Each structure stands twice: as structure tokens, then as C-alpha cells.
Amino acid sequence: MNLKQMTFWFSLFLLISAVTSAQQVTRSDLEVLATKVSSLETTVNKIDQRLTAVEKTVNEVDKRLILVETKVDEMDKRLTARIDILFWAIGVLIAIILAVIALPQLLGYFQEKKARVDFQKRIEKLEQLIEQQQREIEALKSRRVLTPS
């Protein structure tokens, strides 16, 4: 047997069993069904009312969450601005500390350089003076040699 035949025979079996077990509906059966349907309608209406109440509550909570989110965003902006200011202040303090440490060293370096230049000028003057005195000595020696005493 293939699948089509099996499906056909199974469907036929279900159809025949449903037809044989079917009975006519009586007035009492209809009344019972009507009461059950009305009971279901009230239950559905109650559930609908509860769902409406839950939906209102969810909407209120959603509005509150939106307000909280707005406040959090504002606070985040303020904190970001303050953190930026704090970073700038730390940078300025670091710059001041570096200036306090480096400034005396720079001043000392420039004073030392100026003293070195002044010292070099004095040495050059002294060297010129020594050379001049050596020439004078040589000149005096040569005069002495030329003029006997």
C-alpha cells in the first residue's frame, strides 16, 4: 500500500466513525451550550478588562521609564561635562608642576650659559693681555740686547 491509499482509508475510517457516533442535538443540549458560551463571554470580558488595566499600567510604567531615561541622559551629559573639566584641571595642574620643576632648571641653565660666555670673554681678554705683555717683554729684551748698559 502506498501513502495515498493509506491516507484515503484512514480518512474514510474517521468519517464513518464520526457519522455513526453523531446524534441529534436536543433543546437541553443547546441551552447547556448557550450557558457555557455566555459564561465564556463573561470570562473573556473580565480577561479583556484585566488586560486593559494591565495595558494602562504598562503605559504608565513606560512613561515613567521615559522620564527616568531622560533624567539619566541629562545626568550623563552633566557628568561628561564635569569629567571634561576635571581632565582639563588635572592637565593644568600637571603643566604647573612641570613648570615649577623645569623653570628653575631653565633659569639656571641660561644663567650658567651667560656666565660661561662672560667667563670666555674674560679669558680671551686675559689671553690678549698676556700676548700683549709677551710682545712688550720681547720688545724690552730686544732693546736691552741692542743697547748695552
- 80-126 pLDDT tens trace: 999 999 999 999 999 999 888 888 888 888 899 999 999 999 999 99
Query: Has residue 14 been placed in a domain?
Result: no
Query: Has residue 66 been placed in a domain?
Result: yes
pLDDT at 72: 95
145/149 Cα distance (integer angstroms): 9
Give 58's pLDDT tier (boundaries 50, 70, 90): very high
What is the pTM for the complete model shown? Answer: 0.43
Interval 128-147: pLDDT, tens:
999 999 999 888 888 776 66
Query: Has residue 57 been placed in a domain?
Result: yes
Query: Has residue 65 been placed in a domain?
Result: yes
Query: Has residue 59 been placed in a domain?
Result: yes
Query: Has residue 24 been placed in a domain?
Result: no
Give 8's pLDDT tier (boundaries 50, 70, 90): confident
The residue type at 120: Q
Mean of the per-residue pLDDT values of the chain? 87
Q: Looking at residue 8, what DSSP letter applies?
A: H
Range of the domain at 71: 30-146
Strand, helix or coil at 2?
Answer: coil
C-alpha distances out from residue 51 to 38, 45, 48, 54, 88, Å:
20, 10, 5, 5, 54
Query: Has residue 77 been placed in a domain?
Result: yes
86/92 Cα distance (integer angstroms): 10
The total number of structural domains that make up the chain? 1
With a cut of 80, say whether residue 63 has pLDDT above it: yes
C-alpha distances out from residue 121 to 7, 108, 125, Å:
122, 20, 6
